[in-house]
Amino acid sequence: MKTLFLSSAALLLAFQGTALAVDPPQIKVGGEVRMRGYYLNNFLDFADSNNADEWSLFRVRTRVFVSAVLDNGVSAYVRIANQNYGEGVTALPSDGDKWEEENKSNKFFVDAAYIDVKDLFGLPLDVQFGRQNLMYGSGWVILDGQSQYGSTSTYLDGVRFVWRVRSDVALDALYFKDEERKRDNTTPDDITLLGFYLTSKYPLPTGQQELYVLNRRDELIGKEIYMAGARLSNTYESGLDYSAEGAWQTGKLKRKIDQNAYGLKLDLGFRFKEVPSSPRVYGEFVRLTGDDYGSSDTNEAWDVFYGGWPQYGDLLVWKYVNVGAGNAIAIYDPHYNAGSTVGAEAVYSNFDLFTAGIDITPLEALKAGFSYSKLIADETITGADDDIGDYYQLTAEYRYSKHLVFGMYAAIIDPGAAFAGRSDRASEAFWDVTLGF
């Protein structure tokens, strides 16, 4: 570990030394330390009798970065990261689970490393090469990179072109690798992301419009999903805000099953600016279609694409993590992880989520929020109920200083009748402290 740390430090210093040779240099070096204390119970199976999904541990993430703005519109960014996810967790389980391997303690990795070129060849075209973090819209379909480091990182390796059509219109072209697995092609096994994403504030006079056409291909299982979608959003001076997004998916699963799925995400909120604590009340509806088990030649289950991060709260992501039959979701949806070969991928699918919540700012440095959600399955196997359960979440954040932030998260899922015979509540709580410098 000491050798890895020294090598990482030398890399950063060498990069800085190279950049300093440029006249005039614009160099920035910084980092972040985050510590979390977790307690989780029944986060996979809703059964008190099983202690395998009862965790109490510390998780520490450390990141150091250097950025350099060079000549001719060229810049670069490098970030090295480390995590301790339960000190000393180094032994693999008997089945050699890849996710356990990648999330063991004292894991060093390159979290970001890319070259950014503005106005390539004098054109209104920007390009980024390398390991990047992508996020579009609210991150509903593109944010999480599935890099097998849990919530520590969200990177993808590849190339992104940004054509600035005009000051308020940009078209992105994407080509990224999710999984390379084996470098040779004796057995095709890559996972790739291709597509176009348009972001515009024209021609509509207010708000933002987004259109996208994307392709995700998993060669190992013959899955090729095409997705077309759109998003509209705006925030008004009155305090009203909204976003509405929908997408349709087609393609093939296992080279022969037709994909035919759709998803919706609707948000509506209002902030009372003149009221003490500036409360914002909001509602959200999410529909991710599930598979109709009466049909064998069509798959209607929503493919999570790259929206697997904890966008619906940290506890729910555990319920949909790809761990096979050990997950309680399989009781009413045995195909919940069908089509996913990525370990620990949050395969959100087959639910309607209805949420009501409130965010408040009682102090300038303090933010808090509470939400309640009802989850209902879109499709179930014969004889299973569609009531997934009730979901409660509480969050708080206190900015102690410009650089230091304290946070807290607590959640409970009270399981519904869909989980026949498993009625014990799932819960999660963590506190964290984050220092950025």
Could you write out the three-class secondary structure of 98-153? HHHHHCCCCEEEEEEEEEEECCHHHCCEEEEEEEEECCCCCCCCECCCCCCCHHHC
Pairing of strands 257-271, 298-299: parallel
Q: How far is residue 402 CA from its own chain's centroid?
A: 26
pLDDT in 10s for each residue of the chain, 437 residues = 445 445 555 545 555 555 444 466 699 999 999 999 999 999 988 999 988 889 999 999 999 999 999 999 999 999 999 988 887 776 555 544 555 555 566 778 899 999 999 999 999 999 999 999 999 999 999 998 865 555 678 899 999 999 999 999 999 999 999 888 888 888 888 999 999 999 999 888 779 999 999 999 998 888 999 999 999 999 999 999 999 999 999 999 888 889 999 999 999 999 999 999 999 999 999 999 999 887 678 999 999 999 999 999 999 999 998 887 778 898 999 888 877 888 778 899 999 999 999 999 999 999 999 999 999 999 999 889 999 999 999 999 999 999 999 999 999 999 999 998 788 999 999 999 999 99
Q: Where are the domains of the chain?
A: 2-436
The one-letter code for the residue type at 42 is N
Dist CA 237 CA 57 (whole Å):
44
Residue in this structure with the two tokens 């075209």, named with its chain if needed: 125
Q: Buried (b) or exposed (e) across 334-345, using 16+ Cβ within 10 A?
A: ebbbbbbbbbbb
Dist CA 393 CA 424 (whole Å):
17
* CB-CB contact of 338 with 303 (8 Å): no
Which class is 2-436 in CATH? mainly beta
